[in-house]
Copies of this chain bind each other. A is one copy, B any other.
């Protein structure tokens, strides 16, 4: 599910409306040029609500990250009843697709800027430590499920999950900060070689 879809429709409450405005402002301005004012410009209710609820831009953005994390969690690995290899493939196809459409590219760039705040800001660091762990656990569960179902070999699920998340984070970083579509495409194809050689049960033998 795309971030925009998480925020589609009529917001359920004031927080959801603020989050939708923050998403739009992040896509338009990125982190560096974002202010409470530019978020307020995307917000249909009174801007004073933003100042009332949040102690500045970073306080609001940390709540935004939390809001997105709660919603992403259940959606990022596709249908829970699909086969583990199909779930893994759709995740890799989603993150390492050939080209991001404009809004998703802008949001990926903003997310890398937010992540870079964690280099010096402990509150951002806490968030990304927690979200890394969450995605890791979810992905390792998918891999363990695949082992149980006989789709994947008897690999170390935590190691495989760690490598795949590192690749996905690397792809996001490279894509957000350089012109290198060819490198992302090549990474995706080489990941298939890895999945085939290390992970998938050889059905021909």
Contacts and interface: CB of A to CB of B under 8 A. Distances in A.
Which secondary structure dominates chain A's binding surface?
helix
B193 A159 contact: yes
Contact of A194 (B112, B116, B163, B189): B163
A125 B162 contact: no
A115 interface: yes
A144 to B, nearest CB: 14
A40 interface: no
Interface in A70-121: 109-110, 112-113, 115-120
A7 interface: no
Contact of A33 (B120, B125, B178): B120
A169 interface: yes
A117 B109 CA distance: 10
Contacts of A201: none
Contacts of A12: none
A123 interface: no
Contacts of A155: 193
B132 A183 contact: yes
B165 A168 contact: no
